[in-house]
Structure 1
Amino acid sequence: MWVNLVFCKKCGYENDDDALYCENCGTNLSSINSPSSSGRRKTNKILMVAVVVLILGISVIAGMMMISKAPVVNNTNVTNENQNTQSATQNTSNNGPEIIDSNSITGNSEIYGNFKFEWKTYKNTEYNLVIYSTFSNEVQNNLKQTGTLSMNEPGSVLITVDPKASGRSNWASTTSQQGYSTIEDFYWGYFRNQYLMKGPIH
């Protein structure tokens, strides 16, 4: 069995490592044992303080970044039987689609019964908008739909939806731009009120 020994500084006698006093001369040995352990304790305390300060610093920086990137909230009023909730508009980078509308409604209709319909509309190009939506009622639970508005030919818009609110097949229709010069103007001036604000697209 290996035994650690502590040498007395005064007389050089070999003492057990747990001895408090030298067995030969009676000198206090605690001053020999404590520097290394107190040094470790001091290093551990400094390390713990540094880790806590680092975590707090990262938390503060992350919180500031999240606050600065929060979306701007707009209110949209509707004058039909559906209840409208707040919408958030947030610009994305110049390299990708831009969110131009985000909203949700709840309502009751003869076709769908009680329903909830949420959507986000993205502008891909001057000639193309994409609408990602979720529809729920007593029959469908969180049905995901993808709709597009595209310039079909001058003066007309192609509207597509995949899948329909029934959850089966898809739907496509071509309509005039109703006098609006761009797809985005058509969306805000006609499509949003005639389709989205009334519930799921077909």
Structure 2
Amino acid sequence: MICPKCGHENDEDAIYCEKCGKNLKKTSGTLGNQTKLLIGLCVVLILIAGVTAGVLMKNSQNTSKANEGSDVSKDQISEGTGFPVSLAPDLASEIEKQNGTFETIKYGSVSLDKYQCIYILSKATVMLNKNESGNITIKSVGAPDSPYGFVSTGSLSKDKYVDVAYRTYNWINTNGIAPNYVGISNPGQPDLSPDTILSVLSDVLSQYKSTGKLPETVAI
């Protein structure tokens, strides 16, 4: 054992330095504590690296989830097969590019009017919220009799816009036409017009396409 004070080489089991009398066991203990500290630091760094890798993996899985079905060709969509929920976020992005000014939009081999788009996006929002997959029926949807809505600013929380989507597609299923309006909290309140619903759900699903998850809030 080398004495840290004078450099004299002592026997490995020596307690004191034969030359200067330095207590060698205290030195050994100090070095042992330093070693333990270094090992502890390494363990912490390994744990941090593991957590970081887990977060990155989860984000990668979310992105993959958002892109599920992206290998399904648009040309495979038809009224007979239905509209894959996995492609609804891409449809939403195409709708956003139109700024809500379209009457019909060509998507793959099908042409969809805005009320069919409202049905598809509302049903897709509810399905994605439940982590469901499958195809959405492409059905004829009549125009509303007197569409209007008083709310055009603000924001909706996730539970609110999912509920709006649920009531929208259920109304269409029951009545065969788009609703004149949909209430945010009170179903009978004329809050959101069909055009506003289409805009909100297009934003919701466009964000889903980018992040792989439904946003916690969305602007009206």
- TM class by shorter chain equals 0.3 to 0.5
Instruction: Write 1 or 2 for the structure with the bigger share of strand.
Output: 1
TM-score (norm 2): 0.34
Instruction: Write 1 or 2 for the structure with the bigger share of helix.
Output: 2
Larger Rg: 1
TM-score (norm 1): 0.36
